[in-house]
Amino acid sequence: MNQGRLVFAQLTQHLPLTTFRRCIAKYDGEHKVKSFSCLDQYLCMAFAQLTFRESLRDIEACLRAQIAKLYHMGIRGRASRSTLADANEVRDWRIYAEFAQRLIAIARGLYVDEPFGVDLKETVYALDSTTIDLCLSVFAWAPFRSTKAAIKLHTLLDLRGNIPSFIHITDGKWHDVNILDHLLPEPGAFYVMDRGYLDFERLHRLHQAGAFFVTRAKSNLRAQRRYSHPVDRSTGLVCDQTITLTGFYSKADYPDTLRRIRFKDPKTGKRLVFLTNNFTLPALTITELYRCRWQVELFFKWIKQHLRIKSFFGTSENAVKTQVWIAVSVYVLVAIVKKRLNLTASLYEILQILSLTMFEQIPLDQLLSQSARDDNSLDEANQLNLFD
């Protein structure tokens, strides 16, 4: 079916272009556009992400070197540096944000049965943020400190498949806890977060919506024990208690009972105190859920290392958000392709292979499955794999 098609074209055929056109029409993205369409812009920026381009000039040079193949990649307009810069500057970033959200919905459907380390049927989200430092003199719209600018990526990560279900981009001064005001709680789902999100009024809204949260308590928590449940101390559990808050403001913000679990890590000896509004799961499962929160940290580390979101092709707020959302959509697109083609290679391996084969005409499933077979042969020869 893909005989003779470029690898890049085979990859982008998994994009729901009808949805993309609806996003363009919604935000009037091609008003007075004559030649370089929003799809051309998206494909050029996606190419930059997949091949790790360093600048607009770098993108222009690489695409012009293969100018005879651009039509077969789906790029109809002239991919010049100034045209791409203007498109990133003026075309509404919400086009690419909504399109990325549609890809996220597709990916979550594919990974709905993916295990994540805890035997639980409910959806589990990890909530956290990462900061990307910028130059204050160039990115004045994103203040952070007196001598530094930054943006924050507030991310709600679905732990089944490590798919970001919600992303919000703000300047560096924006406090993490405010993101709870922008979430639409999913009844029955678990939201795992660190102490930076400990705001009892906002957590009570999650509770009232039928959602569950797991977080850590601060050292100055004022609470009264109502009941103690039996625990197996050999597992590291110290206590499992039902408590009520006694602080004047915290009690008013969260009048219902909470569950407090104290845990001592058998390996490190570190003592942790967890708070949750779920009283049915075993205490050890609650601690395991919080341990899985580390996956969002690994997600941030991964995208910073393998996607172009630490250095930007434009300096305006619109250009930065456009680049970030296209980077997220490329990450999700690769995850979709991995699942649809039943590939065993990791996302890292797939990206590395794609970065060198964009202009090849090898069937995509054959190209990526061949790498998996090569890995197996290395394992059989007792060779070490550096990128497990």
CA 148 to chain centre: 25
| The amino acid at 93 | W
The DSSP line for 65-115 is HTGGGHHHHT--S---HHHHHHHHHHS-THHHHHHHHHHHHHHHHHTTT--
Same domain flag for 199 and 261: yes
Least confident of 108-112, 262-266, 365-369: 365-369
Same domain flag for 262 and 331: no
Q: Residue 199: CA atoms inside 13 Å, Cβ hemisphere, count?
A: 13
Across residues 244-261, what is the average pLDDT? 95
- For residue 371, the model assigns a pLDDT of 57
- For residue 3, the model assigns a pLDDT of 58
Across residues 259-276, what is the average pLDDT? 92
Q: What mean pLDDT is reported for the chain?
A: 90
Residue 385: pLDDT over 70? no
Split at pLDDT 50, 70, 90, the class of 267 is confident
- For residue 128, the model assigns a pLDDT of 96
- For residue 87, the model assigns a pLDDT of 94
Same domain flag for 23 and 73: yes
Q: pLDDT exceeding 90 applies to what percent of the chain?
A: 77
φ/ψ of 127, rounded to 5, equals -110, 130
Report the distance separating Cα 161 and Cα 234, nearest Å.
Answer: 32
Same domain flag for 14 and 53: yes
298 assigned to some structural domain: no
Same domain flag for 214 and 287: yes
105 assigned to some structural domain: no
Residue in the block written with tokens 């049927």: 121
Q: Which residues are bridge partners to 158 per DSSP?
A: 125, 163
User: End of a domain among 272, 292, 312?
Assistant: 292
The DSSP line for 243-308 is EEE-SHHHHHH--S-EEEEEEE-TTT--EEEEEES--SS-HHHHHHHHHTTHHHHHHHHHHHHHSS
Report the distance separating Cα 260 and Cα 268, nearest Å.
Answer: 21
Across residues 364-375, what is the average pLDDT? 72
Residue 2: pLDDT over 70? no
Residue 210: pLDDT over 50? yes
Same domain flag for 286 and 328: no
Split at pLDDT 50, 70, 90, the class of 381 is very low
Across residues 39-58, what is the average pLDDT? 94
pLDDT tens-digit profile of 137-187?
Answer: 899 999 998 889 999 999 999 999 899 999 999 999 999 999 999 999 999
66 assigned to some structural domain: yes
User: End of a domain among 247, 274, 292?
Assistant: 292
| The amino acid at 286 | I
Report the distance separating Cα 74 and Cα 46, nearest Å.
Answer: 12
297 assigned to some structural domain: no
Shortest CA distance to 321 belongs to which of 95, 163, 59? Answer: 95
155 assigned to some structural domain: no
161 assigned to some structural domain: no
Across residues 337-361, what is the average pLDDT? 91
Contact 265, 272 (CB under 8 A): yes
pLDDT tens-digit profile of 322-340?
Answer: 999 999 999 999 999 999 9
User: Six-digit token pair at 312?
Assistant: 């930007």
Residue 388: pLDDT over 50? no
User: Six-digit token pair at 143?
Assistant: 């203040």
- How many structural domains does the chain have? 2
The DSSP line for 189-209 is -EEEE-GGG--HHHHHHHHHT
Same domain flag for 286 and 370: no
pTM equals 0.88
265 assigned to some structural domain: yes
CATH of the domain at 277: 3.30.1370
Which residue did the predictor score with more confidence, 370 or 151? 151
Same domain flag for 73 and 22: yes
Same domain flag for 278 and 359: no
Give the residue numbers spanning the domain of 363.
7-96+320-380
Contact 135, 365 (CB under 8 A): no
Least confident of 192-201, 287-296, 368-377: 368-377
Residue 384: pLDDT over 50? no
258 assigned to some structural domain: yes
Contact 359, 69 (CB under 8 A): yes
| The amino acid at 79 | A
